[in-house]
């Protein structure tokens, strides 16, 4: 029974709890047992809140027994990336500088999930302050990919992706700044959705780069992603960057039809042609990823979609633009971690002054990658370099957005592989930050342009999952979800499960 529960979608679990086929406590107990067993090998959770989760599940069962109305996620276990604030629950962003920090408030998405009846199982491991593409930058050790324990699960939301893939939870939330939901989704063989910037409130998310960060779900099906987005989306007075754009019924958009859908493919970019200008990068596309991508396009064409070649001439500059804009914003956002009001503080020596305390706290509390990004960001914002680097990056960012605007005059979605390679080995790229950054070559464009994007499993390369990435128009998550759901109905890649530890 327990193993069967673990394979059910969030939608199925919600319906089963609602009619009493299974209790919320039974579902919670099964997921807790799986999470505790899997975490020994995967290190996907920083915290498993068993007592809190069971108490919440018991409350859901009492509400059902009393005939009270239940929410759209009633009894569904969910894991949260450890950069989302939960009142009374340790929240560290996988950083030593926030060891022991317990927020006094809930993030807006957490409040909305619990109002909808979700059961929070725990907090997932991630790259420190969401800075990384491999989940190796965590102060609590790397997460391991459920498909191959010597491989990365992707980053920065690697713990959330691994937890969903390993059947610990049907849903997890991550945050996506340059690909941190979609790339782990691809590496772990699950669905990862980055909504339009402003679709989901960032209140309570520990900020990395405020003009890029967006919270999104990791699930095993597009239908579950639609369900979660319907719950967490919408304007929030606590976050001035949220949009008042109406939130549609995303589930109603899942018709299974793609007839007439126009799919744009920037082949000059995806094909890794030689770069055409200073600062341009090649994609290094793996042959197995290429085959899976082309097969996915063929499947959608046979279902009635059309594939149209498009041009995104500035996409080749997206990596350098991203690592200028994101590091500049990180430098500003992380200035608040100084050991004064909360978090880690260096004890130092008895006679150290305030400046020394600041310096030692930040040196001891931040990991190497976070320090690297703070220094890069501080440099590009400094006098004499601001115009040459940060301002220029913002100008190219505008050009990139215009490329997409022109493309969407002719197509409905833009398709690329989610990552140029399947999951790479742990330690393989840690000594070469540039190669690590290039893992995001296909994902950074969408957040720079503020656009929604989804990764859906589309095959395997050398036994490791591959993701198909679809990018849509502003606030048109419905088309992305409809396309991803239709693709799932054509294939069975999303049903594949990694070898799991004993339950």
Q: Annotated catalytic sites, by residue?
A: 81, 156, 180
Separation CA 130–CA 213 (nearest Å) = 10
Continuous segment of H or E residues that includes residue 327: helix 318-333
Classify burial at 277, counting beta carbons within 10 Å of its beta carbon; exposed 0-12, middle 13-18, buried 19 or more: exposed
| Cross-strand pairs, 173 | 80, 217
Separation CA 201–CA 174 (nearest Å) = 13
Name the residue among 50, 91, 319 with its Cα closest to residue 205. Answer: 91
Tokens standing for 308? Answer: 């149209």
Tokens standing for 390? Answer: 């940060």
Name the residue among 174, 44, 134, 186 with its Cα closest to residue 433. Answer: 134
* Rg of the chain in Å (alpha carbons): 22
From residue 484, how far is each of 319, 425, 467 by CA, in Å? Answer: 26, 28, 11
Separation CA 456–CA 138 (nearest Å) = 26
Residues 6+ apart with CB under 8 A from 398: none
Residue 281 · residue 244 · CB < 8 Å: no
Residues 6+ apart with CB under 8 A from 472: 412, 413, 414, 451, 452, 453, 479, 480
């Amino acid at each position: 029974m327990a193993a069967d529960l673990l394979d059910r979608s969030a939608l199925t679990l919600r319906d089963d709890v609602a009619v009493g086929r299974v209790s919320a406590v039974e579902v919670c107990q099964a997921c807790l047992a799986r999470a505790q067993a899997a975490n020994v090998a995967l290190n996907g959770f920083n915290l498993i809140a068993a007592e809190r989760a069971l108490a919440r599940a018991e409350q859901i069962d009492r509400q059902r027994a009393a005939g009270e109305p239940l929410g759209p996620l009633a009894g569904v276990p969910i894991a949260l990336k450890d950069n989302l604030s939960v009142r009374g629950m340790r929240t560290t962003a996988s950083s030593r500088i926030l060891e022991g920090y317990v927020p006094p408030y809930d993030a807006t998405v957490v409040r909305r999930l619990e109002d909808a009846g979700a059961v929070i199982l725990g907090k997932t491991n991630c790259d420190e302050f969401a800075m990384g593409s491999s989940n190796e930058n965590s102060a609590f050790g790397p997460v391991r990919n459920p498909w191959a324990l010597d491989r990365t699960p992707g980053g920065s939301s690697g713990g959330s992706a691994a937890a969903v893939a390993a059947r610990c939870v049907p849903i997890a939330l991550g945050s996506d700044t340059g690909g941190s939901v979609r790339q782990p989704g691809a590496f772990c063989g699950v669905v990862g959705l980055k909504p339009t910037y402003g679709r989901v409130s960032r209140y309570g998310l520990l900020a990395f780069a405020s003009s890029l960060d967006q919270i999104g779900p990791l699930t095993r099906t597009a239908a579950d992603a639609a369900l979660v987005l319907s719950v967490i989306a919408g304007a929030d007075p606590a976050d001035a960057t949220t949009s008042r754009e109406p939130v549609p019924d995303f589930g109603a958009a899942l018709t299974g039809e793609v007839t007439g859908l126009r799919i744009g493919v920037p082949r000059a970019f995806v094909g890794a042609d030689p770069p055409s200008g200073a600062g341009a990068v090649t994609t290094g596309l793996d042959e197995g990823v290429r085959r899976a991508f082309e097969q996915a396009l063929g499947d959608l064409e046979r279902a009635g979609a059309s594939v149209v070649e498009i041009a995104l001439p500035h996409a080749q500059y997206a990596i350098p633009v991203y690592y200028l804009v994101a590091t500049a914003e990180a430098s500003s956002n992380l200035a608040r971690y100084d050991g004064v009001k909360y978090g880690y503080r260096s004890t130092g020596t008895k006679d150290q002054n305030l400046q020394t305390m600041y310096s030692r706290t930040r040196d001891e509390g931040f990991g190497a990658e976070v320090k690297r990004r703070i220094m890069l960001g501080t440099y590009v914002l400094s006098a004499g370099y601001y115009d040459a680097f940060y301002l220029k990056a913002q100008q190219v960012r505008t050009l990139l957005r215009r490329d997409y605007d022109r493309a969407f005059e002719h197509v409905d979605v833009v398709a690329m592989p989610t990552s140029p390679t399947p999951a790479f080995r742990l330690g393989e790229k840690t000594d070469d930050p540039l190669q690590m950054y290039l893992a995001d070559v296909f994902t950074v464009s969408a957040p720079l342009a503020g656009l929604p994007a989804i990764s859906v499993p589309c095959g395997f390369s050398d036994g490791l999952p591959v993701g198909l990435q679809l990018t849509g128009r502003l606030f048109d998550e419905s088309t992305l979800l409809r396309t991803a759901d239709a693709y799932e109905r054509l294939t069975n890649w999303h049903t594949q499960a990694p070898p799991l530890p004993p339950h």
